[in-house]
Amino acid sequence: MKTTSSIFDSIRVKPDKDRRVKNDGPTCQWANCKDKATNKAPKGPNTSGYWHYCLKHAREYNQNYNFFAGMADDAVLAYQKDALTGHRPTWKMGTGKKGRVKPDLSALGPDGDPLGIFSDGARSEQKVRKEARVIRNAERKAFEALSLEVSATRAQVSARYKDLVKRHHPDANGGDRSTEDRLIEIIQAYKYLKSVGMG
């Protein structure tokens, strides 16, 4: 077998234990302690990094550690309040990064916004004008049957219906059936208005 073969060039042999450099990690940073440091402990709130301690000294450090040592009471309360949200920024609804704010129309010149495109947008903070309800022909006929204006409220429709039923019902007229057709028309009109949310 050849020792200069190109096939065996990439083979690596693991060194013996005694030839390897032993790296056991850091030693305990506590004064006069030579034990192996197996635990990390934070240096403090205003400094970054960690102390490396053995288990015995890490326990002692943790028992005596006070994160808020040296902080004013107001700073402690502010920190605790921020901790409720994970120290992340918060804002009121509609005013944050993606919230809508009123546009500055002074940059548009003396005319401002003549078409109302920027000041009356769908998400503008101004009150949206209440649009008039579309009245269908069937609704218009039902209002006419009850002798009411199209702009009547639910309470007015209900009160008018009760009044007309009392007036045209055969029992109220001594059994006279001459107004029965008008009563049927009133009942159907009220049922329709009720189905569209006006009754």
At 98-122, the pLDDT tens digits run 665 555 666 666 666 666 665 554 4
Q: In this predicted structure, what is the pLDDT of residue 110?
A: 60
Average model confidence (pLDDT) across the chain: 79
**What pTM does this model have?**
0.36
Residue percentage of the chain with pLDDT more than 90: 32
Q: Give me the pLDDT at residue 199, please.
A: 67
Best CATH choice for the domain 137-195 from the list 1.10.287.110, 3.40.47.10, 1.10.4080.10, 1.10.10.1200 = 1.10.287.110
98: its two tokens: 């993606």
Write the pLDDT tens digit of every residue in 157-189: 999 999 999 888 888 878 878 888 899 999 999
Name the band, by pLDDT with cuts 50, 70 and 90, for residue 2: low
Report the distance separating Cα 80 and Cα 70, nearest Å.
15
Where along the chain do the CATH 1.10.287.110 domains lie? Answer: 137-195
